[in-house]
A and B are shown apart, each in its own frame.
Chain A
Amino acid sequence: MLASKGGNIFLILLLAGTAFAAVGNLLVPPESAMHVDTYTITLLGKYLSFALLAMAVDVVWGYCGILSLGHGAFFALGGYGMGMYLMRQIGDRGVYGNPDLPDFMVFLNWSELPWFWQGFDQFWFAFIMILFVPGFLAFVFGWLAFRSRVTGVYLSIMTQALTYALMLAFFRNEMGFGGNNGLTDFKELLGFDLQADSTRVGLLVCTALTLAIAYLVSQFILSSKAGRVIQAIRDSESRVRFVGYKTENYKIWLFVYSAVLAALAGALYVPQVGIINPGEFSPLNSIEIVVWVAVGGRGLLYGAILGALLVNFAKTQFTGILPEAWLFALGALFVVVTVFLPKGVVGLLSMFARLKKKPEDPDTQSGAGSDGTANSTQGVAT
């Protein structure tokens, strides 16, 4: 019962695809047609961290009906945590060669490391902070919002305001996070050179494994009885209260869990793209995540993952060919999906599968859904 059929196929494809890419990059010589170049590896790693982020949004939106338009904030906070660790790893190899201070602090004439940068030269500390800070923020936000029974559009606007406020704060130089340039010029992670092919492949494998584990854990939570309570909250929150469940606690903890997943995605994203700046807090980014989930199919974990992969692949292609048109295409896509595909691509595929099966034996309708999703995940791989 841990994973559905479609979910199993997704996991197998994810791990097989990652292994294929890793071997294709490291072991196959560059002349071979089977060689996977490093650019593709980094791109895949980026897509997979976006997939993890989309899954985090799907957990709260698709299963509990909390439309968060501010999940980019948790992603960016996780990214900043990782960025701070990577900055400290630069040591005296920066432009100014100061062993104690990152370059931007030297540039601002700061004489010593601010208190909130202390400890970030240790990976274990940075890792705990990557999980703790966004989780704590989500807890405080959820505590205030869900206990006051803020729901629907009002909640969405508040999450949007949260990420916007953080963006403005991080743009300020005095905040001590590098201002609008953010953190960049990273050299190494845990002693591995970030530019090396093997590190890039290692990061891709880490991202894929994190995504797989996060998928299994989320599936476990959502298919437990608590998961059914969460879905019941989505459909009729007041009724769940009258049955005796404290719905605000369920929402708070699910929101925290989702924020931690988003932060992990951010922490995996930053070493692969090599920069984190306040632009990641932009409200537009958070809205884009919601579009990924809607396109893939909300209420199904692999739907969100599929959506993130599809839209980002389209984005890479589109911005290469016709950069100005991308935002229009994204907007059009969202409208089309909302109007014509309320269940996203996964819903469409399972509908096809059902139509195809129906003439032969109408009894297998319930099985058709998982078959359809199987097709969809294969579609990603090809």
Chain B
Amino acid sequence: MSGLDAIRETMRRDRVFDFMLDKTLPAVDVSHTVLLYVEGLSVSFDGFKALNNLNLYIDDGELRCLIGANGAGKTTLMDVITGKTRPDEGTVYFGQTHDLLNKSEADIAELGIGRKFQKPTVFEQLTVFENLELALRMDKGIFSNILYTLQSHQADLIASVIDTVGLREQIFQQAGALSHGQKQWLEIGMLLVSEPRLLLVDEPVAGMTAQETESTAELLTSLAGDRTVVVVEHDMAFVRSIARDVTVLHQGSVLAEGTMDEVQNNPEVIEVYLGEAP
């Protein structure tokens, strides 16, 4: 009889099978103004605690800087948020409803979390234009991409982003032939065309000239509000020029949080981080 019961249970009249459910992702719920919740996060590699019970809340539309010495866990935190590393403990929620820990890298990117890597990673065999085209926000399935042609609004978006990042002359050049700074810009451009809700930017100004650094600062500041930006950076002058709120990480947990001035005057921070800086 248990078999019959199982069938009855399976065929319940109000049953909706998983494959019948709407596949489109529900909108990100930010009704409590917080976009990203990171709670109790711990990651260890062979006994080394890269993240140790870390708690972090990022509000919708804010521009937050993460600073910390090497090994403080900044990049590991980004790896966890983007799905590259699975944590030992803790939760990461995007808005109220999306648990990022059970999603793949691709799904997380589809939700609207874009990432710029520490080392510029662009597709070197493809041209600047093709790099941007790949990053467009659109259906990423294989069959729709075989028959895909560029839509005019997407072409406009690419054109405007190319002007923003100043690569108009290199548009049909192979990305592998670009200089280090240009690759950084191209990667930022790829972030922009993907129209993310949350941008995770890892050391955006490494290898940039003073002038380029300044325009990067301008760009990131202008993005905040519309989008949420989290910047990891070592360059304190740069951080000072853009940051409203700063979070200091130390040995895998949050050491201090607040405005740049508050953080700079925090005795603990002075001791572990800023005190060592020249």
Chain A residues in the interface with B (C-beta under 8 A): 220-221, 224-229, 231-232, 234-236, 238-247, 249-250, 253
Stretch at the interface among B8-16, B103-111, B211-219: B103-111
B126 contacts A231, C-beta separation under 8 Å: yes
A228 contacts B126, C-beta separation under 8 Å: yes
A60 to chain B, nearest CB (A): 14
Residue from A220, A226, A232, A234 in contact with B142 in the complex, judged by beta carbons closer than 8 Å: A226
A245 contacts B140, C-beta separation under 8 Å: yes
Stretch at the interface among B90-98, B144-152, B242-250, B254-262: B144-152
B125 contacts A235, C-beta separation under 8 Å: yes
CA distance A269 to B122 in the complex (A): 42
Interface residues on B, range: 20 to 34
CA distance A250 to B103 in the complex (A): 18
Chain B residues in the interface with A (C-beta under 8 A): 82, 84, 104-106, 109-110, 115, 117, 121-126, 130, 133-135, 140-143, 145-148, 190, 194
Residue from B82, B121, B133 in contact with A225 in the complex, judged by beta carbons closer than 8 Å: B133
Residue from A224, A234, A241, A243 in contact with B145 in the complex, judged by beta carbons closer than 8 Å: A224
A-B contact pairs, 7 of them (CB 8 A): A225-B146, A226-B143, A232-B134, A236-B123, A244-B106, A245-B140, A246-B106
CA distance A224 to B123 in the complex (A): 16
Interface centre among B124, B141, B142, B146 (most CB of A within 10 A): B142
CA distance A226 to B147 in the complex (A): 8
B109 cross-chain contacts in A, Cβ below 8 A: 241-244
A35 to chain B, nearest CB (A): 45
CA distance A247 to B123 in the complex (A): 15
B142 contacts A250, C-beta separation under 8 Å: yes
B145 cross-chain contacts in A, Cβ below 8 A: 224-226, 229
A241 contacts B142, C-beta separation under 8 Å: no
CA distance A223 to B221 in the complex (A): 38
A142 to chain B, nearest CB (A): 12
Residue from B117, B125, B148 in contact with A231 in the complex, judged by beta carbons closer than 8 Å: B125
Residue from A220, A228, A235, A240 in contact with B124 in the complex, judged by beta carbons closer than 8 Å: A235
A242 contacts B123, C-beta separation under 8 Å: no
B146 contacts A239, C-beta separation under 8 Å: no
B135 cross-chain contacts in A, Cβ below 8 A: 243
B172 to chain A, nearest CB (A): 10
B133 contacts A228, C-beta separation under 8 Å: yes
CA distance A221 to B190 in the complex (A): 24
